[in-house]
Structure 1
């Protein structure tokens, strides 16, 4: 069957030299066997700062479907995902954290939910009733529950987990929100979702995922999540709220002031 649709998968990677080759190979094999017959795919690995041998190891992946991009300085996961999205060609654009905390087969579950719900965005959710979550630190569970209560109050999003590192967007959503986004590090997920919701993309749903937390390989600077990270997350989240509802920065009328980052 001809490949009439294309899925782009952004894989941001930070200091993953020991695992990135295995991760990319696993994603390739998973998508080759799991996607519907009419789907092709591309994997865009964005090395968030050339600080070790992650780029070299990623380039060793033996698949023409894997493209590797990098830049010299570490910019943060939000920047890496946006950079990858700007290079994506797919009609569906997703991102998946390196590190294998999240089982790559979850991508097929998200794609199925995208079809079932005719969704604009599907969010992988640790708090979905059908999700399987193991070895997840209690402190992160506490932070997560508290944070997402605040997110619901501030933004009205109809989901319980905004922070899991696997999401899929229709291309039209990415094309609308991408020029407006600012957050480079903390709260990049909530900015994407809140801006999309604000701009009328209301078909946002959750899908179950399988997560096994491994602090030794978790990606993009999330090896430890403590009070300092929580405070930065809160600050960035409040900044998104301020830009959204006070400054109206993300609205079309403010287009000339959007930063080209």
Structure 2
């Protein structure tokens, strides 16, 4: 398991706040356990080096996810919801507007990615003096329990990303990242992708606005068959084909039309 203590690499005075955004959709069976697990992990792993807040965004009140999330009794956990499902990108933006931390992270609900990875990303952010740290399934130290067909799709997508956006990253789509607040402050007003191509939109805009210290960190992934990425036609907003199409739109509007300027 990838676990790291921050005692040796973080100062103990002038504590910063880490905001962890958890977008959740149809997670009624697991959300309470997930949030409790994330808080236990942060409380133990941060070792008093950070204040923290956990911001759960229920992306559409379509089941009992919101009701279950609100059963978590902790002042560090904040629950927000809205009626209609809008997509992961919208949920993450909603959470970022609520976040108070100097560092802003997001982590997918559903337990695919071990929450201890947050400490690994924080340590890498300190080591590199990074603006953004991306959890990477293709980092040589990452531990994966991940279907081969998804790995092939991921590799193909990342080849396209490198060609289109000149991002020297092996994985842009993992559900765990940390941004400095100054990066979010710059890019948040420009973000508009509501679904899963939001990851590349955020990273491409960060690079576009001059934040070049973007690095990867290893993560531990156990594939959850209930993943929201579905193998459906382009008309379905959760389809990988739709994600690729949205990625091309980001490229066209950023690199050709200059609409993000």
Flag whether TM exceeds 0.5 (same fold).
Answer: yes
| Alignment partner, residue 76 of structure 2 | 65
Is 1:182 the counterpart of 2:185 in the alignment?
no
Is 1:151 the counterpart of 2:151 in the alignment?
no
Q: Select 1:170's aligned residue among 160, 165, 180.
A: 180
Distance 1:54 1:231 in 2: 28
Is 1:117 the counterpart of 2:133 in the alignment?
no
Whether the 8 Å CA contact 1:78–1:183 is kept in 2: the answer is yes
Q: 5+ unaligned residues in a row in structure 2: which ranges?
A: 1-11
What secondary structure is seen at the aligned counterpart in 2 of 1:8? strand
- After superposition, give the CA deviation of every residue in 1:209-253 in whole Å (9 maximum; x if it has no partner): 00000113x3xx23x3456412111110110001101121111xx
- 1:169: how far off? 0.1
Distance 1:198 1:123 in 2: 17
| Alignment partner, residue 171 of structure 2 | 161
Aligned length: 246
Whether the 8 Å CA contact 1:4–1:38 is kept in 2: the answer is yes
Is 1:108 the counterpart of 2:113 in the alignment?
no
Distance 2:218 2:14 in 1: 27
- 1:36: how far off? 4.0
Task: Decide which moves more: 112-121 or 2-11.
Answer: 2-11
Q: Could you say what the CA RMSD is over the residues aligned between the two structures, in angstroms? A: 1.2
CA distance 1:125–1:226, shift in 2 (3 Å): farther
What secondary structure is seen at the aligned counterpart in 2 of 1:47? strand
Distance 2:99 2:17 in 1: 10
TM superposition score normalised by structure 2 = 0.92
Whether the 8 Å CA contact 1:3–1:37 is kept in 2: the answer is no
Distance 1:115 1:225 in 2: 38
Query: Which residues in structure 2 correspond to 1:95-244 (within 5 Å)?
Result: 95-134=106-145, 136-216=146-226, 218=227, 221-222=228-229, 224-225=230-231, 228=234, 229-244=239-254
Distance 1:4 1:89 in 2: 13
| Alignment partner, residue 94 of structure 1 | 105
| Alignment partner, residue 254 of structure 1 | none
- 1:138: how far off? 1.9
Is 1:4 the counterpart of 2:10 in the alignment?
no
Whether the 8 Å CA contact 1:140–1:225 is kept in 2: the answer is no
| Alignment partner, residue 20 of structure 1 | 31
| Alignment partner, residue 259 of structure 2 | 249
TM superposition score normalised by structure 1 = 0.92
